[in-house]
């Protein structure tokens, strides 16, 4: 692990790629500051860490729009789920873990929990849960609804007030900001989103050209971009754009193909 990170770090420095350097330094610091990673208590290839937890406490009024953001780094590329107390509120298939586990990748991923219209019942503790293989890291956030007395609404009221079914600007809710994997492997770059009406999605490649499906590049039904057999020349930023009649959102994933010899 250390050897691999070291050679990746050297490559990143020689190419003067600030973003990759930051990522590998994060990982390097974590490995050296976490003795368990080197003592065989767990598979050193599997590790996950929350890099940016959601705000610990947030206070909002009924009707407000709330977003909680959580960022994690890990190997294999982590998934992020959100829990309200002990109930999972995001789907658990936000990443094709079977395919991902075949690639020894590292990734920094971000997730947003979006609440378009806060109701009294939303006051609770929300947990961001990041998982890489068997490794898990979590961080919690408490949402306080400051003026909730008498403002709860049932289903009929939500429909009548046009809160349910309202149009919302798209937001990407799960993506990787950096993704590193060995040359020759297949990668799946996630791009989960919300929005009403259902947004259209497209990806731009590292030359800002719209990606059409071909033998190597495929946009999967849930929005992920799969790139087969990654090449050194695939390095660069890939942009996922989601748009509907209300607006658009986009994220960028920096793909860093690593030399096979760095294993």
Ligand X SMILES: *[C@@H]1O[C@H](CO)[C@@H](O)[C@H](O)[C@H]1NC(C)=O
**Chain residues in the site for ligand X (CB under 6 A):** 92, 97, 154-157
Nearer to ligand X, 86 or 154 (CB): 154
User: Shortest approach of ligand X to residue 183 CB, angstroms?
Assistant: 27
**Nearest-approach distance from CB 154 to ligand X, in angstroms:** 4
Nearest approach in angstroms of CB 95 to ligand X is 9
Between 79 and 244, CB nearer to ligand X: 79
- Distance in Å, CB of 102 to ligand X, minimum: 15
Minimum CB distance to ligand X smaller for 41 or for 155: 155
Q: Is the CB of 33 or the CB of 154 nearer to ligand X?
A: 154
Please give the span between the terminal C-alpha atoms of the chain, in angstroms, as a whole number. 8
- Mind giving me the DSSP string for 5-71? HHHHHHHHHHTT-HHHHHHHHHHHHHHHH-GGGGTTSS-TT-EEEEEEPPPSEEEE-TT--EEEEEE
Close Cβ partners of 251 (under 8 Å, ≥ 6 residues apart): 110, 172, 175, 177, 191, 239, 240
Looking at beta carbons only, is 20 or 62 nearer to ligand X? 62
For residue 149, the minimal CB distance to ligand X (Å) is 15
CA distance 226 to 230: 10
């Amino acid at each position: 692990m250390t050897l691999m990170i070291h050679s990746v770090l050297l490559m990143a420095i020689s190419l003067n790629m600030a973003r990759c350097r930051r990522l590998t330094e994060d990982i390097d610091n974590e490995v050296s500051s976490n003795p368990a990673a080197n003592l065989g208590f767990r598979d050193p290839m599997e590790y996950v860490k929350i890099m940016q937890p959601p705000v610990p406490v947030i206070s909002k009024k009924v009707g407000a729009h709330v977003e909680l953001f959580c960022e994690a780094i890990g190997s294999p590329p982590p998934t992020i789920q959100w829990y309200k107390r002990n109930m999972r509120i995001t789907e658990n298939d936000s990443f094709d873990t079977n395919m991902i586990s075949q690639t020894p990748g590292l990734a920094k991923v971000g997730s947003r929990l979006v609440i378009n219209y806060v109701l009294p019942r939303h006051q609770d503790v929300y947990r961001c849960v990041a998982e890489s293989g068997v490794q898990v890291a979590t961080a919690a956030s408490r949402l306080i609804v400051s003026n909730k007395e008498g403002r709860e609404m049932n289903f009929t009221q939500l429909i009548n007030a046009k809160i349910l079914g309202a149009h919302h600007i798209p937001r990407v809710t799960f993506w990787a900001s950096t993704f590193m994997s060995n040359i020759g492997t297949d990668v799946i770059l996630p791009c989960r989103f919300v929005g009403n009406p259902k947004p259209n999605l497209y990806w731009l490649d590292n030359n800002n050209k719209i990606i059409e499906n071909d033998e190597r590049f495929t946009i999967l039904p849930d929005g992920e971009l799969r790139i087969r057999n990654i090449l050194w020349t695939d390095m660069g930023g890939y942009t996922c754009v989601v748009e509907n009649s209300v607006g658009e959102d986009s994220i960028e994933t920096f793909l860093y193909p690593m030399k096979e010899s760095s294993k």
